[in-house]
């Protein structure tokens, strides 16, 4: 499927952000790199702030799509949580916007998101979801946890809902700790064995 003008513009903006702080990224350069007119860019996003919000929302959507793929992979609870944790480590290290979304740490180089508590009105219909839908770190972790519980609570074997929810949260927080403070090996798979152990641990006695 051919990318849309919106997709091309988001890709161009993300590429520009890799080399420049957001304050130095120019709309005319983003439009040129995407092969569209500056008017098309403004028609899609309304303003540079609108483009920033769309970039952050796109990063959140891309991360959640990867979570869904990991949770849908083969294996039991431990394997699928381990895959989700490894994806989280990889996404945080590879994408500064995902890192900001999951940690709340937004440096001067990055566009800051607008959270639902302080929405910005937009005249561009396609921008309204980005204006109102960027989650805080706690909300994003909550979304991932809820997806994990829904995907893993299949009754084979039956799970205690509270234990499963706690296990998912522990796995996600382990992943964030590995992403932010890597071990010497520095690979995303390093978190997987520990997550499997957590997921498969059962109290004795």
114-163 pLDDT per residue, tens: 554 444 455 555 555 445 567 889 999 999 999 999 998 865 556 778 88
Structural domain of 16: 1-45
Q: What does the alpha-carbon distance between residue 127 and residue 148 come to, in Å, rounded to a whole number?
A: 28
Q: What does the alpha-carbon distance between residue 88 and residue 191 come to, in Å, rounded to a whole number?
A: 10
Which CATH number does the domain housing residue 2 bear?
1.10.10.60
Q: What does the alpha-carbon distance between residue 135 and residue 149 come to, in Å, rounded to a whole number?
A: 19
Tell me if the bond preceding 157 is cis, omega within 30° of 0: yes
**Tens-digit pLDDT profile for residues 36-50:** 999 999 999 999 999
Could you tell me if 31 and 70 lie in one domain? Answer: no
Which CATH number does the domain housing residue 187 bear?
1.10.357
Residue 195 lies in a domain: yes
Counted domains in the chain: 2
Is the Cβ–Cβ distance between 13 and 51 less than 8 Å? yes
Q: What does the alpha-carbon distance between residue 34 and residue 20 come to, in Å, rounded to a whole number?
A: 17
pTM given for the model: 0.84
Residue 6 lies in a domain: yes
């Amino acid at each position: 499927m051919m990318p849309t003008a919106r997709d091309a513009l988001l890709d161009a903006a993300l590429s520009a952000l890799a080399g420049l702080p957001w304050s130095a990224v120019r709309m005319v350069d983003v439009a040129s790199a995407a092969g569209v007119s500056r008017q098309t860019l403004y028609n899609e996003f309304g303003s540079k702030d609108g483009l920033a919000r769309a970039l952050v929302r796109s990063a959140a959507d891309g991360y959640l799509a990867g979570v869904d793929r990991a949770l849908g992979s083969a294996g039991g609870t431990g394997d699928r949580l381990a895959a989700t944790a490894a994806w989280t480590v990889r996404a945080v290290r590879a994408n500064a916007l995902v890192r900001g979304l999951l940690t709340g740490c937004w440096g001067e180089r990055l566009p800051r998101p607008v959270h639902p508590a302080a929405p910005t009105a937009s005249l561009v219909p396609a921008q309204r979801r980005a204006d109102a839908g960027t989650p805080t770190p706690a909300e994003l972790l909550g979304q991932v946890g809820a997806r994990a519980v829904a995907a893993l609570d299949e009754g084979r074997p039956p799970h205690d809902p509270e234990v499963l929810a706690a296990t998912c949260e522990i796995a996600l927080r382990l992943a964030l700790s590995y992403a932010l403070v890597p071990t010497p090996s520095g690979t995303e798979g390093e978190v997987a064995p520990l997550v499997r152990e957590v997921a498969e641990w059962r109290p004795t006695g």
